[in-house]
Amino acid sequence: MKLNALALLGIVLSAASVQAQSTSGSALVARLKAPEGFKVSLFADGLKNPRLMAVAPNGDLFVADQGAGRVYVLPDRNGDGVADSKQVFAEGLNAPHSLAFHGAYLYVANTDAVVRFPYRSGDQKASAAPTRLVSLPTGGGHSTRTIVFGPDNRMYVAAGSSCNVCEESDPKRAAVWVYDEDGRNGRLYASGLRNAVGLAWKGDTLYASMNNRDNLGDDLPPETFFRLKSGGFYGWPYCYNLNGKQVFDKDFGRRTADVCGTALPAFATVTAHSAPLGIAFYTGKTFPAAYRGMLFAALHGSWNRSTRSGDKVVMIDPTSGKVTDFLTGFLDGQTSLGRPAGVQTAADGSLMVTDDQTGTVYRVSAAK
C-alpha cells in the first residue's frame, strides 16, 4: 500500500498521540518550567504541526508547518515578544520540515525535494513559485528532511532511513548529502545516520541529532548527538552507541562486529526513544554567559517505551557532552500535553520552541 507524505504524517502523529491529551498552548505555557532567571511565554498559536524554524535577514521568524503544508511568517515588529500576525508565506508544499535563508532565497526542505523561493528583506508572501533544486527519496517511515548551509556556502541535507533497521539501497537515505547552493554537484557527506532530524553548525563543525532504532527494549539504544565529518560513518544499521563507544547490534547482525571499528562515536546521548528533533546553538546575547554557545535540543518524546522519555528541551555542552534539562512541564505523569519539535535563537536573543502537538511557538527569554 502506498501512502503520500501527509497521510503518513497523520498516521505517525496519531500513533504518537495515544498517550497525549488535548491541551492548548495557551493553557500549557503556565506549567512550563525553565531555569531560574528565565520567563516562558506564548509567542504564537493556531498552527497545525509546526516543526523547524529560521530567522529572516530582517529578524522575522519563519516556521515550517509540516501538517499544513505551509511556511508561516511570524513577525514581531513592535518587539513585545508576541507575534504581530501569522502570515502564510507559501502553501501547497509537501510536508515541509525545515527552512534556511541563504543569499536572496528561502530554502525549504519538503519530504520529496529541496525547493527555494526568491526572498527580499521583509517579504511576508512568496513573490514567485518555488524552484525545485534536489529530488529526495520518499516512502518509508521517516519523512522529515532537514537543510542547513555551511560556512562553505554549500547546502547540507539530511534524510532518514526508510525502515527501523535495514540495509538501504538508496545512498541518500540515512545520510547527509552536500550540494552547491543551486542543488548541483551533490555528494555523500556522512552516512550511518538512521534519522538525523536536527542539523546545526558551530564554526566549521556540523552537529546532528539522531533518532536511534526501536525494538531493543526501553533503554537501548540511547539517542545520539554527533559531530559530523566528511566521509564519516556513524554506525547504523550495524552498530549503536553505548557507554561512549560503538557496539555491534547483534539483533540485526548483517555484518561482523569489526564494522563498528570504523563507526565514529557520539559526543552526547540522551535516554532511549526520547526522539531528539530540532537542534540549535544559542547565538544570542541576552542569556547569561553560561548558556551562550550551548546546543539546545527539542526532545519530542517516546511512543514505544513503558515509561515516557523526552518531552522537553535540553541544553548540551558541545565540548563535554553534558546534558541538562532546560524546558520541562510538557508531561503530566505519563500523559504528553505538548511535544517540542524545534528550537531557534530569535533575533531578539530569546529562544523559540515549537510544539507540534498543540500547534504553538513558545518564547523563552531571560527575565529582566
CA distance 268 to 355: 23
* Amino acid at residue number 203: G
* pLDDT score for 368: 75
* pLDDT score for 46: 97
Residue 143 lies in a domain: yes
Asked if 55 contacts 61 with a C-beta cutoff of 8 angstroms, the reply is yes
* Amino acid at residue number 102: H
Residue 13 lies in a domain: no
User: Which residues span the domain enclosing 220?
Assistant: 24-366
Residue 16 lies in a domain: no
* Amino acid at residue number 116: R
Residue 339 CA: distances (Å) to CA of 44, 45, 132, 238: 15, 14, 31, 30
Residue 4 lies in a domain: no
pLDDT in tens, 142-199: 999 999 999 999 999 999 999 999 999 999 999 999 999 999 999 999 999 999 999 9
CA distance 320 to 152: 26
Strands 232-233 and 187-191: parallel
Q: Break the chain down into helix, strand, coil percent, rounded to 5.
A: 10, 40, 55
Q: Is 95 left (phi over 0), alpha (psi -120 to 50) or beta?
A: left
* pLDDT score for 257: 85
Residue 15 lies in a domain: no
Residue 104 CA: distances (Å) to CA of 8, 55, 161: 33, 14, 32
pLDDT in tens, 56-83: 999 999 999 999 999 999 999 999 999 9
Residue 237 lies in a domain: yes
Residue 354 lies in a domain: yes
pLDDT in tens, 340-356: 999 999 999 999 999 99
CA distance 95 to 173: 17
The C-alpha cell that represents 111 in the structure block? 519530504
Residue 5 lies in a domain: no
Q: What is the mean pLDDT of residues 223-252?
A: 97
Number of domains the chain contains: 1
CA distance 366 to 358: 24
* pLDDT score for 22: 64
> pTM (2 decimals)?
0.93
Name the band, by pLDDT with cuts 50, 70 and 90, for residue 20. low
Name the band, by pLDDT with cuts 50, 70 and 90, for residue 8. very low
Asked if 291 contacts 297 with a C-beta cutoff of 8 angstroms, the reply is no
Strands 323-327 and 205-210: unpaired
* pLDDT score for 14: 39
The b/e string for 2-15 (b: 16+ C-beta within 10 A; e otherwise) is eeebeebbeeebee
Domain harbouring 55, CATH code:
2.120.10.30
* pLDDT score for 21: 61
pLDDT at 11 over 50: no
Q: What is the mean pLDDT of residues 216-228?
A: 98
pLDDT in tens, 80-139: 999 999 999 999 999 999 999 999 999 999 999 999 999 999 999 999 999 999 999 998
Q: What is the mean pLDDT of residues 190-212?
A: 99
pLDDT in tens, 253-303: 888 889 999 999 999 999 999 999 999 999 999 999 999 999 999 999 998
